[in-house]
Amino acid sequence: MTERYQITSQLGEDILGAVYLADDTMLQRRVMCRYIEYGDNPEVKTRDDSWRRDFGIYTGKMGSMQHPNMMTIYDVHIADGGAYVFSQLIEGESLAERLQTGALSEAGVYRMAADMLEALHAAHESGVFHGALHTGSIKRINRASGGHRYLLVDLGLNQLASMVKAEKVKVADPVILAPELHQEGVEPDARADLFMLGQLCYTALVGGHPFSSKSSEECLAAYHGEGIPSVDQYVDKLKPDFVKWIMSLIDVDPEKRPQDVSAAMITLHAFELADAAAKKLEQTARISEAAAGMAVAQGGAAMATSAVNNSAANTAAGDPLSGAHAQVVNDVAKSAKKEKVLMFSIIGGLVMFLILGVIFATKRGDSSESDGASVVKDTSGLHSLSIGKEVFIHSLRKQNNPKTVTLDSSDTVDWMVGVDIPISSKLVTGGGGYILSIQTFGQVSPVKMTENPIRFTKNEKVLFPGASVVRNNEQSEDAGYEIQLRMPRKDPSSVTVNLYLIQNAGDYRIEVMSSKDESMTDSEILADEPGAIQVPVIINNPVAGGFYTIRVITGPVKGSEAIQSALSGLIISKH
């Protein structure tokens, strides 16, 4: 690996190779690093260097695709044992992770489909086809305006791994793989990618797949036999046009699917889905426009323009959305008279509301001044971060008789127990959707902890944490764990994140940060008796859909012993 990049922790591993978090020391940014080993294939040692040229050409093509719905590749490096691929770090959840908490809404799947079509269109225009889309291929991040933006994060990785390993490598889900790609020698094309996108939309709407328990051969037979049931057999009240669009993509016959991404785009954008959140924002905007005295006709024209997405409408055959566009304009025109009547009522109501508000505020001010008391604001509904006092659980000297913590509380919404090494890749989790990732950072040396003074139970099953991080005295400080959390978008409750830590020969510093409003708090946990401690992190009135980061940082060495620290587990509870 080049000196420019420094690996800080491992994020995971799959059949393509290990994935790491790294620092780009030149541009001072965090990046993702995928290491693809050569493997044991004998052809690796006997091949000539032409593969390096092909590898460079392909990665150059991948790096040139700068698209907002696609992960960007920054750099590559071929080493003695394999190849490093450095790319954009996307700190969001994958579709697979999101589906663990349930199905997506119809509007959410519509937006995902639109974003993925944009990404695939850019890829196909560059001559690159995915060929193995699955639920791990898509990540989503929060949009500033609400909702999510979906990104394609593994385009080209199968091809890159195949070049490095000198053998065919493919990460694919046989359940949603295009039927024609089950045959040897068949290369992916646009229609194969559209089939798998349709399958992802189907899976996201249902929250699962009806063929998930079938083998590859059984899936293929089912698609060519009775076929997959229509998605509206599992989900009620879907828009018929959307059902028809999805089912056209997953037709077993490639000739009956849309011929390319542009054709699929045109059909998708020919209809719209009702989005409750967007509708509410639109209604608020209308009221604001009326109160400001804006012309109803002007507002109606703006609505008509935004109501239809024309990005793929202009084709040689004419504008296939013209009928839909005309209908929207007509509907707005019909409602203009009603809105004009309502406009004056709304303005009058707002004026009256403002007058009453001024009177009420004046009376409150008079009352507070008359008795000489200061006005105390109620901060119970405000967002805040705090770290409570640590609680000593059990001594390291008594680790052969560990204390037990239950995960079965009715207030528990998510949890994690580290059961192997490294802790960033081997976890047992509660699947509540709050915990996005847990990583180590800094100079750490993972070792196996044969005994632990704490254990956890869930449904009478014992989970014995076994991960520890030991740092020698010579190593620098500021190493530890980074926990990424995300709060629910609907009705997020105040929560307490209880950290269960092993502390020996060193202090801890706990930092809690909110990415939404950039608030932060920290606390020092001084080393006392070596053992397990519980540290409560309180997030009051969290931001809906907000991301939070908790960093557990090991402090200075106490005495001559090596620092021993471990994040044994964490429990997130409502309060």
Determine the length of the chain. Answer: 575
Q: Provide the domain limits for residue 424.
A: 384-574
DSSP category for residue 380: T
Last residue of a domain, one of 233, 268, 303: 268
Q: Are residues 187 and 76 in the same domain?
A: no
Q: Are residues 539 and 405 in the same domain?
A: yes
Neighbours of 67 (CB within 10 A): 16
Indicate whether 485 belongs to any domain.
yes
- Band (pLDDT 50/70/90 cuts) for residue 539 is very high
Q: Decide if pLDDT at 377 tops 70.
A: no
- Band (pLDDT 50/70/90 cuts) for residue 477 is low
The amino acid that residue 574 corresponds to is K
- Band (pLDDT 50/70/90 cuts) for residue 356 is very low
Q: Decide if pLDDT at 316 tops 60.
A: no
- Band (pLDDT 50/70/90 cuts) for residue 305 is very low
Q: What is the CATH number of the domain that holds 262?
A: 1.10.510.10
pLDDT tens-digit profile of 420-446? 766 655 678 887 888 877 877 776 666
| CB-facing half-sphere around the CA of 467: CA atoms within 13 A | 28
Neighbours of 196 (CB within 10 A): 26
Q: 304-318, 380-394, 430-444, 454-468: lowest mean pLDDT where?
A: 304-318
Confidence at residue 404, expressed as pLDDT on a 0 to 100 scale:
92
Q: 25-34, 339-348, 470-479: lowest mean pLDDT where?
A: 339-348
Q: Are residues 511 and 542 in the same domain?
A: yes
Q: Are residues 298 and 426 in the same domain?
A: no
Q: 83 and 215 in contact (C-beta within 8 Å)?
A: no
Q: CA 464 from chain center: how many Å?
A: 28
Q: Are residues 395 and 524 in the same domain?
A: yes
Q: Are residues 147 and 296 in the same domain?
A: no
Q: CA-to-CA distance for 562 and 471, rounded, in angstroms?
A: 6
Q: Are residues 531 and 469 in the same domain?
A: yes
pLDDT tens-digit profile of 240-283? 999 999 999 999 999 999 999 999 999 999 887 755 444 444 44
- Band (pLDDT 50/70/90 cuts) for residue 144 is confident
Confidence at residue 2, expressed as pLDDT on a 0 to 100 scale:
64
Indicate whether 377 belongs to any domain.
no
Q: Are residues 287 and 341 in the same domain?
A: yes
Q: Looking up tokens 């902890």, which residue turns up?
A: 449
Question: What's the average model confidence in pLDDT over 537-557?
Answer: 85
Q: Decide if pLDDT at 52 tops 90.
A: no
Last residue of a domain, one of 36, 57, 88: 88
Q: What is the CATH number of the domain that holds 390?
A: 2.60.120.260
CA dist 239 to 124, 181, 199, Å? Answer: 29, 30, 17
Q: Decide if pLDDT at 378 tops 60.
A: no
Last residue of a domain, one of 47, 67, 88: 88
Q: What is the CATH number of the domain that holds 72?
A: 3.30.200.20
Indicate whether 280 belongs to any domain.
yes
- Band (pLDDT 50/70/90 cuts) for residue 197 is very high
Indicate whether 107 belongs to any domain.
yes
Q: Is the peptide bond before 42 cis (omega within 30 degrees of 0)?
A: no
Q: Are residues 249 and 313 in the same domain?
A: no
Indicate whether 307 belongs to any domain.
yes
Q: 184: alpha, beta or left, given left = phi > 0 and alpha = psi -120 to 50?
A: beta
Phi, psi of 279 (to 5 degrees): -65, -40
Q: Decide if pLDDT at 380 tops 80.
A: no
Indicate whether 369 belongs to any domain.
no
What Rg value do the Cα atoms of the chain yield, rounded?
28
Indicate whether 505 belongs to any domain.
yes
Number of domains in the chain: 4
Indicate whether 427 belongs to any domain.
yes
Q: Are residues 418 and 393 in the same domain?
A: yes
Averaged confidence pLDDT in the chain: 78
Q: Are residues 57 and 196 in the same domain?
A: no
The amino acid that residue 473 corresponds to is N
pLDDT tens-digit profile of 485-501? 888 877 789 999 999 99
Q: Decide if pLDDT at 196 tops 80.
A: yes
Q: 305-319, 340-354, 445-459, 500-514: lowest mean pLDDT where?
A: 305-319
Nearest residue to 305 (alpha-carbon basis) of 324, 281, 277: 324
DSSP category for residue 229: P
Q: CA 274 from chain center: how many Å?
A: 24
Higher pLDDT pick, 560 / 303: 560
Q: CA-to-CA distance for 334 and 433, rounded, in angstroms?
A: 45
Q: CA-to-CA distance for 463 and 454, rounded, in angstroms?
A: 10
**Geometric angle at alpha carbon 52, from 48 and 56, rounded to 5°:** 160
3-state secondary structure at position 370: helix
Confidence at residue 515, expressed as pLDDT on a 0 to 100 scale:
72
Nearest residue to 270 (alpha-carbon basis) of 313, 333, 225, 229: 313
Q: Decide if pLDDT at 395 tops 80.
A: yes
Q: Which residues make beta-bridge pairs with 457?
A: 406, 462
Confidence at residue 423, expressed as pLDDT on a 0 to 100 scale:
66
- Band (pLDDT 50/70/90 cuts) for residue 65 is confident
What is the SS3 assignment for 323-383?
HHHHHHHHHHHHHHHHHHHHHHHHHHHHHHHHHHHHHHHHHHHHHHHHCCCCCCCCCCCCC
Q: CA-to-CA distance for 430 and 407, rounded, in angstroms?
A: 9
Structure tokens belonging to residue 385: 């971060």
Q: Are residues 316 and 335 in the same domain?
A: yes
Quick one: which H or E segment has residue 45?
A: helix 43-46
Q: 146-155, 221-230, 279-288, 387-396: lowest mean pLDDT where?
A: 279-288
